[in-house]
Structure 1
Amino acid sequence: MSAPHRELPPIVDYALLPLVNVTVAFLVSGLVVLAIGENPIEAVRIMIAGALGYSEGIGFTLYYATDFVFTGLAVAIAFHAGLFNIGAEGQATIGGLGVALVCLTFDGAPWWLVAPFAIAASALFGAAWAYLPAWAQARRGSHIVITTIMFNYLAATLMVYLLVEVMGKPGAMSPETRMFAEATRLPFLRDFLTPFGIDLGQSPLNPTVFVAMLAAWGVWLLIWRTKFGYELRTVGQNPSAAVYAGIDPGGIVIVVMLISGALSGLLAVNEVMGTQHRLLLEFTAGAGFVGIAVALMGRNHPVGVVLAALLFGMLYQGGAELAFEKPKISRDMIVVIQALVILFAGALEHMFRPTLARIFASAPRDDR
C-alpha cells in the first residue's frame, strides 16, 4: 500500500521538484549527445560558458529571457484564474502592430518620448486580441484553449495581409515595414555600459529588460496583495465558492485575460522597438509557446517565472554557442534539448511528485 498523499513543503514544490525535472531533462539530453559521439559534459560546459561566461553572452541571455518573462507571466496569471492561455503568440504579434503604429506615427521623435506610448499600445493591442476569447469563455462557454489557439492563426494571417497590402515597405522583398528612425529606436544597453568597462558586444539587450522586471513585481503584487488577486485565485480554485462569495467568475475571466494579453503584447516592445526596429512576420519566434513551459517550471509564481525565463535564455544563447563549437550538434539538436526541458517541465511535471511526497510523508515531524 502506497504512502498517503501529503502536500509538499513550499521549498520542495517550488524549488526541488523543478530542479529534479530539469536535471532529468539534461541527463536524457546528455544521452542524446553521447549517442552522436560527443562528450555531454563538454557540451554542458560550452553551453554554460556561452550563456554566462562573458559579457556579450550574458547580454544575449538576458535579451532572450526578457521575452520569456512577459509570456511566462501572461500564462501564469491566467493559470491562477483556472485558465490556460495558449494565445500569447498571437497576442504578442498584435502587440507588435500597436508598437509599429506608434513608432511609425511618431517616427523621428526621441525614444524616451515614444517609449511610454509604445508600451501602452503594445499592452492595449495584446489585451484587445485576448478580449474575444475571454468573452466567449465567460459569457458563451467556449473553451479558452480552442479559441486562443485559433486566434494565434488569425493574428498571423492578419499580419501577413497588413504587411503585404497595407503597411509593407514599397519595393521590399519580404513583408515588413520600413525601418524606424534611429532616434525612435530603443537604445542598446551596451551604449551605456561601455564607458564603465562592460562590453556587451553585439547584444541587443535594451531597456525593455527593466520593464519585464517591473511587470514581474506588478504581477506579484496583483495576485497576492490585492482584493482582485484574491478573487481571481478563488475563481481558479473553486468557481462555485466564488459565486457563493459574491464574485462574478465571468467578469474575473475577462479581466484576467485582458491582463494576460497585455503582458504578452509587451514582448513586442523588446522585439519591434528594441531589436528589429521594424515590424516583420514571425518576430515572436515561438516565445509565446515557450512561455507555457516557463510558467509551468516557475510554478506560476513571478519569481519562478523569472528564474525559468533565465534558464530558457541560457538554453537559447548557450545552444547557439554549442552549435557553433560542435558542428555535429546541429541547431536541430539544440531544439531537441529545449524540447526535453519543456517535456519534463510540462507534460511530465508531476512524474516525481509522488516519490517526493512519499519521502516527505515518511519524514519525522514534531507534532507538539
Structure 2
Amino acid sequence: MVSLLANIGILFLAVYFCLKSGRLGANHDHTTKSGLIGCILMEVLLGTILLSFSTVILGIRYDFRVLLFCFSAKHMDWRITSSSIFLLGIIRFFWGNSEAAQVNLIVSIILAITLPMIVKLIRDRMNDLAQLLVLVTIALIPSIVFTKHMIMDKGLVLLISIILIALNYGAVFVMHYFISDLYGLIASASTDHLTALKNVRLFNSDLIEMERRKHPVTLAVIDIDHFKNYNDCYGHDSGDGILKQLAAMFNELATPYTTFYRIGGEEFGVIADYFSPSEAEAFLHNLKSTVAHRNFAAQAGETINLTISVGVAHSQKGETLKNTLKRADMALYQAKETGRNKVMVSARA
C-alpha cells in the first residue's frame, strides 16, 4: 500500500513538473538543447524514484513507470520520451543485473521506439483519453507476458494481470481528468472573458519567459482608431461585439509564431517570435490592411469599417522587453498623432 501511494504521489509530481516546465502544448520544433536535457533529467529522476518504490513479486518489479512513459509520449516531445525510457532501462539494468533486468532493458528500447510512433499514428484519430488507454494497453503487454513467463502459477498470473490493468487504467482516468481540470483552470485565469484572446496577465508572463530565453522577438501594440466614437454611437453592447469580431479576425490571421492578447479596453498586444524584423513588419502591415477592408457588424443589418494604429518595436541585444514594450507604446502614440491607420516602427533605442 505504501508503494502504491508513493507511486501515485510521484505521478502527480510528474504532472506538476510538466505544467511548470511549459512543455505541454509547446512548440516542440524550437525547444532549446538545455530545455530538452533538463526535461530528460527530471523525467529520469522521477522514473528512478518510481523504481525505488516498486512492489517486488518473485523478482519482478511492478510500479507506474509505464504510466510515466505513456503520459510523456502523449504530452511531451518524443526526444524527451525516448531518451528517458532508454536511460531508465539502463538504470534498471544496473539496479539488479538479473533476467528481469535484461528483459526490461530490451522492452525499454522497444517502447522508446514504438510509443512516439504510436502517438503520431493515433493523435488525429482518437480523443486524448482513448490515446492514453491505447498507449497503456500496449505498454503493459510486455509486463504481462514476462509475468506469465516467470510465474508458473497461472492463477497468480491472472490476478497480477487484472490488478495491473485495473490500477493503470484507473490511474489513467484519474490523471487525465486531473490534467483536463487543471487546463481548464489555467485557461480561465489566462483568457480574456470577452474576446477569448489571451489576457494581459498572460501577456506579462510570456514577456518574462521570452526575456528568460533571451530570444529576439517583435512586440506590437494595437489600438482601434476612434473606438470611443463607435461606443457612443452604437452603444457598449455593440462595441463589445466589435471587439469580439476583431479578436476572431486576429485568430484567423495568426500564425504559429504570432500570439495576440487583449491588454486593455480596445488595446491589443502581439508577440511575434521566430520572425525576422522585416517578416514581422510585413505581417502587421497585412493585418492593418485586412482590418481596414473588413466589414464589421455594428447592429441589426448595419455594418461599419474600422481602422487600427500599430506601434512596433524589435527587441535589441542588452535591452529588457519592458523597455521594448515601452518603445512599442511610444510608436503607437506616434502613429495616432500622425494620422492613425498606420504601422509605426520604433527607431533603435
TM-score under structure 2 length normalisation: 0.23
Structure that is richer in helix per residue: 1
User: Greater RCO between the two (CA within 8 Å, min separation 6)?
Assistant: 1
Report the TM-score, using the length of structure 1 for normalisation. Answer: 0.22
Structure with the larger strand share: 2
- Structure showing greater radius of gyration is 2
